[in-house]
Chains A and B, each alone.
Chain A
Amino acid sequence: MNFRFRRRLLPAVVTGLLVLITGTKANAAPSAADFVRNLGNQLVTIVNNDSPTAQKKEQILPILQKGVDVDAIGRFCLGRYWRVATPDEQAEYLALFHKVLVNSITSKLGDYRGVSFTIGTTTQRGDDEAVAATLKRPQQPDTTMQWIVSTESGSPKIVDVIGEGASLRLTQRQDYASYISRNGGKVANLIEALKRQISRNSN
């Protein structure tokens, strides 16, 4: 009797444990996806409204600052030149980088109405999680990308976007590195170029 009871109990315990383990995993995965969905919904709501682009940029900035680790991305993009930059240059560069990022996102989306997106699967990528998302814009082919979510700073934040296998922050870093090395090896020259770029793209 006792043996039979054990025979029944053991599978039940194992099944229970399995449910617990898979349940925990299942709960962990959606959190990154939910975070991206939430952030994406906020951005899409702004993009799809009828306000002028300048106003959209103002509305998008706080959302990005909350959901995207802009400083970490900025530091990554400056690569080895981050260490040679003076504290003033670092601060100025980061301030400009925030604007560059907002400009880049609004210029990608700003002119469209009827933008929408769908969230796909979440996969582990090193310490971070990659959430697949497909962006749909009218009159344009769908764009599939992965949003890399890191919880290193304590709360989930976007640290990179992978589009068709290319990391945006790595591509940006090589762009900046190449620009600096071809322009005297000075961060100050990059800062001037970013200023010119921002004023050109703001018009």
Chain B
Amino acid sequence: MTASTRQITISEPDARMQQVRQPRKAGFVKFLTGCGLLALSACATTPKPTDPEALAEYNEANDPYQSLNRKMYNLSFTVDKYTMKPVAKAYVWAVPRLARQSLGNMVRTMNEPIVFFNDVGAGKSRLAGDTFARWVINMSVGIGGLIDVAKMAGYPHHDNDAGITLATWGVKSGPYLFLPMMGPSSIRDGIGYGIDVGLSPWNYVPRGYGLLTFNWAYNITGIINGRADHLDDLEQLERDALDPYATIRSAYQQQRKALAESIKNDHRATTPDWY
């Protein structure tokens, strides 16, 4: 998760987002999401408490599918324990920080087109301009995104995705979801994820052996790098939280709300200061 950490696990979906690039896979993800939503509608929700204070707490958590979500959470963390976590640890041990940081920059730069389209979708032309400038500068001077030159030039990265764009349009988050192997989400953010897969231009570039190899290498690196960034956060969480599931849920919901607010409240003039 980087500075843009939608913290703890929150940027994890970002990292995982890199996983799916080809349209055939995008269709598969949409199919899976559809099945998931169908399963959700069929599954029993946690009963609402009658005590007013307990009810307020229940509403604040916004997690009627808690029992299913907790199962997904346990499954994800068990799988992670034996797969991604040891791989990420080995990666941190073997690869120097500078190299990891550069790969992180590259993954982020490759993701900038999605941020750009969402800046436009949210009607924030200045943010879209920043993102466009970032992409152009980092892809050229920054050697394919390996060096974040744009940040030094006054264009720092900001997170944005279709879930946030929908939020700026006034779409409510809907119930909280914990998606297996992808982390915390919500109905709105899950749909947003599907939209983002469709928005990524990398899904539409011509095919070839070289590109496919690059795509896979890039996706796998993105996932491992993203997980490595959260090694400390997640270990800290295991140590400090009595109910890590609830802690992740709370942090995720607050951070998504704060991110939507920060995008919504960006009222800077369209033209840059120097213009």
| Contacting pair B246 A178 (CB below 8 A) | yes
Is B79 among interface residues, defined by CB-CB distance under 8 A? Answer: no
Is B250 among interface residues, defined by CB-CB distance under 8 A? Answer: yes
Residues of A within 8 A of B258 (CB): 164-166
Nearest A-chain residue to B63, judged by Cβ: A178
- Contact partner of B254 among A80, A166, A176, A178, CB < 8 A? A166
Q: Which of A6-14, A18-26, A135-143 contacts B (4 or more CB under 8 A)?
A: A135-143
- Contact partner of B259 among A80, A139, A165, A179, CB < 8 A? A165
- Contact partner of B242 among A79, A167, A170, A175, CB < 8 A? A175
| Contacting pair B242 A190 (CB below 8 A) | yes
Binary flags per residue of B3-14, CB closer than 8 Å to A gives 1, else 0: 101110010000
* A101 vs chain B, min Cβ distance (A): 10
Residues of A within 8 A of B241 (CB): 175
Binary flags per residue of B243-273, CB closer than 8 Å to A gives 1, else 0: 1111101110011011100100000000000
Nearest A-chain residue to B254, judged by Cβ: A166
Residues of B within 8 A of A144 (CB): 3
Binary flags per residue of A18-53, CB closer than 8 Å to B gives 1, else 0: 000000000000000000000000000000000000
A164 to B1, CA, bound (A): 11
* B54 vs chain A, min Cβ distance (A): 7
| Contacting pair B254 A170 (CB below 8 A) | yes
Residues of B within 8 A of A143 (CB): 3
Residues of B within 8 A of A79 (CB): 57
A190 to B97, CA, bound (A): 39
Question: Can you list 19 A-B pairs, Cβ within 8 angstroms, ordered by A?
Answer: A80-B53, A100-B240, A103-B240, A141-B3, A141-B101, A165-B262, A166-B250, A166-B254, A166-B255, A171-B247, A175-B246, A175-B250, A177-B57, A177-B246, A178-B246, A193-B242, A197-B240, A201-B239, A201-B240
Chain A residues near B (Cβ < 8 Å): 79-80, 100, 103-104, 107-108, 139-144, 163-167, 170-172, 174-179, 181-182, 190, 193-194, 197, 200-201
10 additional A-B residue pairs with CB within 8 Å, beyond A165-B259, A170-B250, A193-B242: A107-B240, A141-B2, A142-B3, A164-B5, A174-B250, A175-B243, A175-B246, A178-B246, A179-B246, A197-B242
